Every structure is written in structure tokens, then in C-alpha cells.
Structure 1
């Protein structure tokens, strides 16, 4: 078991990583200053595999478990799903000290966190991420939200968890596509600020894809360390935390236009990262060699790097204006300038974005 701490003053918390931690969830949650009633939220896919183990662990620690399942899929990260959880919490008599636990991937974590942030103006929140994407990204940093038909994560808050428990053994049951999806966020950390980690990924990507335990453990721990450094500097994304949005500007537009579920979040981010790399080349900020390393690693991780032909460039740009990263009617892009370094580029011109999107329609 390893720990990564996030230092945010009174909102500080630990990320605990290791194999077999779901069976210790009860003792870890019971050690927090929380009440005895626990709302355990999962989806019908993850719940069949892990909910029983977690519930048993919580019960052994003397906690009363109120289980609830939501349907599996990005389209269920919605206000209607949040209302279901509010109703369950209210009916079960949860008070302001009752912890809410999210067992699952990013959808469950974001939805449950949003409910935890808003039920009774905030109750304790514990993340138990079971996907690579959730363990390295969405469970860390306190962004919680639900989607709106016109935009992803538009309705949300910054609300830090009390604890994150990442059981790396859960990754062994992850479908290959979901593992690859998580790698888009892992690779992002290398691009924006950790060239050594990026090189390690280039050398070890096959071991990660093969679910080699040591490689997976390093990926999760190092990704959490990288994200913790950024979040500690800028908790509510007033400046440098925007770096974590590499690939997301175009990625969120692709997710919304294609219909949630057609592309995983990581697949859309990978395409968006390829566009950002191309934009860097077109604007003279990134070498062709650097861009090729970025797209090459994404490709080797099994991720798409070409913009879908059926999504028109003007439609993608229009969707980008509806994203929360647009400020004052101007699109902000995160652009890599080298492997291990990126910049925040405000007021990015539509003509530059269009040219980069069109260039990324071909897998070079």
C-alpha cells in the first residue's frame, strides 16, 4: 500500500493505492470522522463484481450500508440520476456526517461527488475508483459534475474527497478499451510536465497493456503524484490547473457531437491531444519530432488520433464555444511545446484550430 498526499489545508486528503484495498475499505472509511450510515453508489456493471466485497468490508467495520445502483454509461451522468441519489439519501435518513462512497469509474465518481457536494450543502465523499481513468484522473482533484445535453460537465463544483482508495487489482477486470481510455490521461501527464515519465511510458507501454502489476502500480502512483502537484498549486483552476485540460477542448466537443458513449472519454481526449500537437506544429511552437512522439505513443497505446470524418469542423468549433473552458467568447487551448512542457494559449484563432483539425483527419 502506498500513499500520495494532496496538501490543500483543511481540504487535504490521502490517495491510497495498492492491490486488494477494496477488502480494507471499511477500516479506512471508519477511521475518518464520519457517521455510521454510508451511501454506497455504483453502477450495475461494477456492482456485480465488487459491491458485495465493499459492502461486507463496511459492515465488518460497523457501518450501515445503503446501496444504490445507477445505470452504466456517460448518458446517465445527469441531473435525473442525481435526483435518484438525493431521494435515496433522504429516504435512508443520511445526515451531514454520513459519507457517500463512489464505487466505479469516472461517471459514478463525478455523479456521486456532485451529489455529495450538494446534498445538505456537503457531506463526506470517498472515492473507490475501479477504472484506470478514474484512478489516475477523475478521482483526484475534486472536480465533480453532471452533464447537460449541450455540454459535458457544465453543472458541477470543486469538492474534494475525504479519501481516495485505489485498488489496482480492479484493473485486471477492466475491458481492454477502458484500459486504453485511461492511458490517454496517463500520457497527458508526461506531455504537460514529466518528460521522464513520458519516456518511461514509451519504453514500458506494452507491459502496461499486458496488465503487468508493477507497471500498473507505477502508472497509477506517478500519475497521482503529477496531478497532485498541479492541484496543490491551483485547486479551482484559476491558472496552471488548466494544463490538465490538454486534449479536452476538442475531446469534449467530439464526445458531445458524436453522442455520449460512442467514444470513451479517453479516446476523445486522445484525438483532441493529436489536434493540439498539430496546432503546436502549425503555430511553430512544437517540433514535428515532438508531435510524432506524442501521436506515436497514443497510437501504441491503442488510442485513436484522427478526427472522425462524419464530424464537420465548423460543428466541432461551435461545440467548443459551449465548453466551460471558453472565456469571454474566446477559445483557450493547451498546446504542447515539447515532450514534458505545454503552455496555456488563450484567444486561439478559429482558422488555426480549423487547420489543425483538418490535418488531424489523416493518420500520418
Structure 2
């Protein structure tokens, strides 16, 4: 086996696409890079038959050619890893396509019409193109074949640039797609996968295509994300013949409102949205919550796709199917449980996230450890500072750990009906939400910052109530403080009144018989639900932490 072979080459690589896509040229260079053989299936077919492909078609017909093509490709894939350039019609044949998808890493070299026309302008050995106008023939072939090519594992756009750039793109994509982590969420009646990895947004079209009965999507994207990443997403979707309609919304928590909900639903209805046409939420938690609520209610439910772009949304809000919008009475008081069709979390997108937003998302990872995973909290203490310096490996690990944690809980309690189940995910949220509500969701405190502060307040409260060791509270407060997250109301630099904060608790979703159900702690990783928190204890806590 070649010395430089690694996990990328353990399986053969097959290149599919139309004539002129560069399968032979790129295939040879790719094989040379990985030091494995290059094979052209058409040449091998001619060797086996002892005549040209044109002669096979003329003498025996296409059915016999496809049978021979399948046999030759199956033989070629039985030995050592290779780079295989296939004929333009090979992947269209169902039996051959299934063989290639099973035995190889299939790569579609996607080319626009003008590029192919330019590349084959002087070709005279293409019988398929000699029967009429080349542009018309190629357009027809694209309409027929591109939707099937889209079933390839990877899609590589081939631009009018140096072929070395396309080669680099193939190698980079192969190496990074190998690192994609897929977490199945096996909910009865609505199972889906969470895909986590770096640069996987570029493969969104390939991931979505097999799931869509209608090859069209409506994309809800906030203006900040649109400026950075929308072109990457639409290019990937366009390559797999998925058409798009774009709705750009303002960034910020204030967008999760009845006003924006009404405005967007009216626009979608004006566009005559159909029940099988998905809505993609491409952005942070605000976009996901709003998009999910719209998808769950318009036409009584259309498919919903989550593409979270912030750490907070990747580790928390995109997992579990909660949707919602805010009202004057509090956060997420209008909402539904509505599971997505798929979640695609590209951790490479986090590099454009401001440090403050990254820290806010990190708070939810710490929260997961505090609920029932002391080892995860210890991992945060060890690696948190490095993760917040945008370490790509640690970011991917963190998203995987947090999603796995939350998925386990959601599978046990999808609709938050078990006191010891999904309700535990609200650690720090009741107190965090009242702070957000009192500040009017004005950006003075981010949701993740409020969760961090809420967790610190709960640990302090439980130590005050003599049910949590003070050393555990000290560890929690010290860790949040060490990464620059708020641990006291005094850190907000905004005067808050304890009585006003307490009034917001009256609108808490977890009220039962007039009492708020708090997630309390006996220590790190030891949570429980209680309605026995007295008002005077909360007032004392708030005032000792800076409220007036």
C-alpha cells in the first residue's frame, strides 16, 4: 500500500459528471496526489469489449453497454483503492449508481453550461454532440442528469479557474468531510440527523437533496449571516438543482416578535408556499426559533431545516425541536415543539463569530456539565479558554459533546413532561430570562450570558439554602468569571430592581399552581426540580448580587 495513504484513501474515489467536467484530468492529478492508480472506466470497457464504445452502442445497443459497464466497474473496484473516472451516463444507471455509492466515495464535478461549452468547443469525438446544437443538447442532458448526479456524496463546483484550485478543493473537501460527525436523533415518528463538522455547509446541497420531495427551499437568514455565508449556501444548493427564495431578517432578539412573524408568514403566503416546501433557518438561535415557529404553523406545518451558525444555536437551540417568539410578557411564551428534517452545524462558520457571541454559546456547554455530567464540566475547566480562542478541534468536540448530551435528554422527554427529564435543561434559565425581560431584550445581555449568570445565581441560592457545597459554587463562579462571563448582577453595569425582576417570574412557563418550578442543585452534576424556593430567599439573593 502506498506510503502516504491515509483514511481518505481507504475507499476508492469515483468521479461523476458530464463530458468536459474534467474527470480524466482531475482524476489523474488526484491519483498522483494520493499515490494510487487512476482508471478511466470507458477505456477499460473498450479493452474488455475489443472495440470502441461507439461500436458497442451501434452493434449491441445501450442496454448491453450498461450491462458491460457495470461488470467492468465492479471488477475494477474489487482490488486496491483507485481514482475512477466514469462515463457521463454511468451514474444515471441505477445498478451502477448504487454500486458506486456503496463501494466508493462519489464526487460530482459540477460545471455550469458555459464552462462545459467552452471546454468542448473544439471536440469532434463526442458522438452525442454531433446530432444538433451543442448548447441545446447539453442543456437537455443537464436537466436529465444533474438531479441524479446530486446523489453523489460530495459536490465540487468547477469554476473557470486554474485546475489546481479545483484539485485543492477536492482534496480539502475529502479530508474535511471524513471528519463529519453524524448524530442520529431517533425520535418516534420524526427521526433526523445532526451533522457536525468543518466546511460542511459547502455540501449542504448533497445532504439535503435526498430528503426533499420538492427541490425548492425558502431560506430565512439574518443580515449578518447573509453577508458572510449566504453565497456559500446558495451555491451548494444551486449545484444540486435546488432553487431558493431568500428572506433576510434583522439580527437580534427583538426579531423574535409577533410583528416579524406576521410579516414573514404574509410574504411566504404571497409566494404561494406549498406544504412540501421546506423553510431553512440559517442563523443563530433567534433565526432558528422564529423560523421553526413559522414552519410549524404556516399551512399547519411545512418541513423545517436547521442550519445554526452560532455556538449557542449549534449546541442548544437547534437541538430538540423547541420553537418560539417573545412577547411583552416574557421570552418564548408563544411556541411549539416541532422537529427539524435535518440539522447541519458547520463549526467553520464560528470563526466569524464575535468573541462575546462565542462566550455566550459556551455558557450552554458548561450548563450541560452542571446538570448531570461532572466530567464535561471538568473538560470545560481544562479546555474552555483554548476553545474560546477558536480552536477548531475543540469547537467540534464541544458541539458534539453538548449535542449528544441534549439528544439523550430529549429522547427521554421530547415534550418536557417529565420533572426529571427535559425540564432539567432549564438550569439557570428562569433567573436568566427575568433579567433578559427586564432589560427589554436590548442586547445589554445576550441569552448565553443570562444563562451563565442564572447558573451562578442558582448555585449561590442553593449554597444559601444549605443544599449545595460552597466549594462547588466557588468552582462554578470562578470558571464563568475566568472566561469573561457575568457571575453577578453587578457585572451588568445596569441598575436592576429586585421587585421588578420578581414580577417577571409570574410569566414563567414553568409555573404550576402559582409556583415556579426551579432547577436546583445539590452540587456539580446533581440537579433536581423544586417549587419550594421562597420569595424572601430570592429577594435576598438578588439584592446580595447587586439588585436594588
Please give the range of the TM-score, normalised by the shorter of the 2 chains.
Answer: over 0.9
* 1:12 equivalenced with 2:175 (yes/no): no
* 1:22 equivalenced with 2:201 (yes/no): yes
Instruction: Kindly report the root-mean-square deviation, in angstroms, between the aligned alpha carbons of the 2 structures.
Output: 1.2
* 1:176 equivalenced with 2:336 (yes/no): no
* 1:300 equivalenced with 2:482 (yes/no): yes
5+ residue gaps, structure 2, are 1-179
The 3-state SS of whatever aligns with 2:414 is: coil
* 1:218 equivalenced with 2:407 (yes/no): no
How far does residue 295 in structure 1 lie from its aligned partner after superposition? 1.0
The 3-state SS of whatever aligns with 2:488 is: coil
Aligned residue pairs total: 362
Q: Paired residue for 1:323, among 500, 508, 527?
A: 508
**Cα distance in 1 between the residues matched to 2:212 and 2:202:** 20
Q: Paired residue for 1:274, among 456, 460, 463?
A: 456
Give the TM-score normalised by structure 2. Answer: 0.65
**Cα distance in 2 between the residues matched to 1:137 and 1:297:** 20
The 3-state SS of whatever aligns with 2:218 is: strand
How far does residue 91 in structure 1 lie from its aligned partner after superposition? 2.3
1:274·1:360 contact (CA, 8 Å) conserved in 2? no
* 1:344 equivalenced with 2:529 (yes/no): yes
**Cα distance in 1 between the residues matched to 2:385 and 2:306:** 28
5+ residue gaps, structure 1, are none
* 1:244 equivalenced with 2:433 (yes/no): no
Higher relative contact order (Cα pairs below 8 Å, separated by 6+ residues): 1
**Cα distance in 2 between the residues matched to 1:70 and 1:26:** 23
**Cα distance in 2 between the residues matched to 1:11 and 1:359:** 46
**Cα distance in 2 between the residues matched to 1:152 and 1:347:** 23
**Cα distance in 2 between the residues matched to 1:34 and 1:126:** 14
The 3-state SS of whatever aligns with 2:211 is: coil
How far does residue 330 in structure 1 lie from its aligned partner after superposition? 0.3
Quote the residue 1:140 is aligned against: 319
How far does residue 275 in structure 1 lie from its aligned partner after superposition? 0.9
Q: Paired residue for 2:385, among 195, 206, 210?
A: 206
* 1:232 equivalenced with 2:411 (yes/no): yes
**Cα distance in 2 between the residues matched to 1:242 and 1:273:** 14
How far does residue 355 in structure 1 lie from its aligned partner after superposition? 2.1
Deviations 1:65-106 (A, max 9, x none): 000111111011111111222122222222111010011000
How far does residue 348 in structure 1 lie from its aligned partner after superposition? 2.0
The 3-state SS of whatever aligns with 1:126 is: strand
Structure 1 pair 207–23 and aligned structure 2 pair: CA distance change class (3 A): same
Structure having the higher Rg: 2
Q: Paired residue for 1:97, among 265, 269, 276?
A: 276
Quote the residue 1:291 is aligned against: 473
**Cα distance in 1 between the residues matched to 2:511 and 2:347:** 35
Quote the residue 2:72 is aligned against: none
How far does residue 228 in structure 1 lie from its aligned partner after superposition? 0.4
Deviations 1:266-321 (A, max 9, x none): 11111111110011101111100000111111112210011246111111111011
Give the TM-score normalised by structure 1. Answer: 0.97
Quote the residue 2:220 is aligned against: 41
